[in-house]
Amino acid sequence: MTSYPTPEFRRTALAPGLLGAIVLIAGLALLDNTGAYLWIRFPVSILAVIVCIYAWQGKQPWWFIGLVPIAVLWNPVWVIELHGQFWVALQFVAALVFIAAGILIKIRNPEDRNRRGGTRSDARPDPHGGSRGNRRERRDGRS
């Protein structure tokens, strides 16, 4: 059986970033219908907050500059009414921010055993001696 190395980073923001871009582009068809566009505002603002959380976990808070305005402008609770070509342009800009954030936000993989020093779980000594999975019997015969 082939064993592949564990990747050093995870791109956890990729799926919500791409999904946010798809929802924004699909929402262009509903821009004229305010009631139906509400169904675009919910996922866009929620996905922007999710990508913000991944940016925070990846220690890349500069993404908040693009993602927080998306979460605010597409907020379905306190609606900011924007119309015209400016709003259409913002749809495309927000989609590009989602795609860029999804691709560029990386979080260190906690399961990466390739880096120096090992993982935190490898650094802890086994209280029973030996390595994990190879527990030795104690002197009194119990394991």
Q: What is the 3-state secondary structure (H, E, C) of 78-94?
A: CCCCCCHHHHHHHHHHH
Structure tokens at 133: 């999975």
Taking 80 as the threshold, does the pLDDT of residue 115 lie above it? no
pLDDT in the model for residue 137:
52
**By mean pLDDT, which of 18-22, 101-105, 114-118 is the weakest?**
114-118
Residues 42, 117 contacting (CB under 8 angstroms): no
pLDDT in the model for residue 116:
58
Q: Please state, rounded to an integer, the average pLDDT across all residues of the chain.
A: 82
User: Could you tell me how far CA 48 lies from the centroid of its own chain?
Assistant: 10
Q: What is the dihedral of CA 95, 98, 104, 106, to 10 degrees?
A: -160
Question: What's the whole-model pTM score?
Answer: 0.72
